[in-house]
Amino acid sequence: MISERSRTAHSESVGHLAGRALDVLRGVEGTSVAAAHVEEADDPAVALGAVRLLGADVLAPYALTGRPRPPGEAEAVRLALDALPPVQPPPAAPPAGEEQPWVMAWADWGLLTLLAADDPPDATGAPPLQPPHPQGPPRYDDSAPRHLPPTADGGPDSGPDSGPDSGVREGWAPWSVRMGRLASLALPGLDGPVHDAARAGALGLARGAGRATLRRDFPTAARIARWLAWLQADGVALPLDPAPLTTYIQLAGGDGGRLALDAAIARRLLGLEPA
């Protein structure tokens, strides 16, 4: 079992890494996110775990600004993937499967997709930097979970969750929280089934962001608002303006850690911060 001390160390490392990504995004501290974090860490193993937990957001400053990744970033991500290989085969979506492994599988897909988008193919034509696999490295497309997220019904809570293959939709409240856990996918250069679910559930996401804000659960509110920002940038009509909501969440939630990174990414997607 993971000790409380270990859990705290990982949480602090993720917060520090998110802060570094935020500084690089704002152009106030260097250009390296993952590599600098690992090099400066007292415990490199914890730092590599933080890279995996932050997922595609370690590459967010480059995806959002178009700036090239500095040398060493890809190698730091490779080390993180080697230390904690993605699960194969990808797990089933909740409630049929456990939520955390499924969320992590989609986070891995986002990280691998952004990484491969900026790297040239190798001599065989295969995308580079594949996760290790007992039967050899699969193509990065194989890391995508085959089980898709349930969609929100857009109405009040409507009973227990239902599996993605059952045809029954789950209530917007649990669905929006689960989508918030996938907020690292709300970045330019990523588009897939989770994004289609977001497009189809704009009302549920708006309700979820409002609910989390009223409950003063600002980390969750920031993650869901980030999806709203991505949807607006994608041209989807929304039932509310995410700009003032995002600004309020940023002010109320504080300027540090992962919440601040989520809010800053949302503001960048909305064109509220300079490119």
Q: What pLDDT is stored for residue 38 in this prediction?
A: 94
Query: Is the model's pLDDT at 153 over the cut of 70?
Result: no
Q: pLDDT averaged over the chain?
A: 82
Residue 85 Rama label (left phi>0; alpha psi -120 to 50; beta): beta
Under the banding of pLDDT at 50, 70 and 90, the label for residue 93 is confident
Alpha-helix runs per DSSP H in 93-151: 99-117
CB-side neighbour CA atoms (13 Å) of 165: 6
| Residue 158 binned pLDDT confidence (cut-offs 50, 70, 90) | very low
pLDDT recorded at residue 145 = 54
What residues form DSSP beta bridges with 152? 170
Please state which of the ranges 50-64, 171-185, 247-261 shows the lowest mean pLDDT: 247-261
- Other Cβ atoms closer than 10 A to 247: 16
Average pLDDT over residues 168-196: 90
Of the pLDDT bands very low, low, confident and very high (cuts 50, 70, 90), residue 275 is low
Give the integer Cα–Cα distance in Å for 56 and 108.
Answer: 8
Domain residue ranges of the chain, discontinuous segments joined by +:
150-275
User: Above 90 in pLDDT, residue 238?
Assistant: yes
Q: How far apart are CA 252 and CA 245, in angstroms?
A: 10
Does 74 have pLDDT greater than 80? Answer: yes
When pLDDT is averaged across residues 189-201 and rounded to a whole number, the result is: 93
> Region 162-176: what's the mean pLDDT?
62
Amino acid 152: pLDDT: 55
pLDDT at 87 exceeding the cut of 90:
no
Q: What is the pLDDT of residues 94-141, one digit of tens each?
A: 777 888 888 999 999 999 999 998 664 443 344 443 333 322 232 334
Tokens of 90: 């990808």
With bands split at pLDDT 50, 70 and 90, how would you rate the model's confidence at 29?
A: confident
Q: Is the peptide bond before 95 cis (omega within 30 degrees of 0)?
A: yes
Q: DSSP code of 152?
A: B
The mean per-residue pLDDT over the stretch 235-253 comes to 95
Mean pLDDT of 187-209: 95
- Per-residue model confidence (pLDDT) at position 2: 55
Percent of the chain whose pLDDT exceeds 70: 79
Q: Does position 48 have pLDDT exceeding 90, yes or no?
A: yes
Q: Is the pLDDT of residue 151 over 80?
A: no
Question: pLDDT: is 122 or 25 the higher one?
Answer: 25
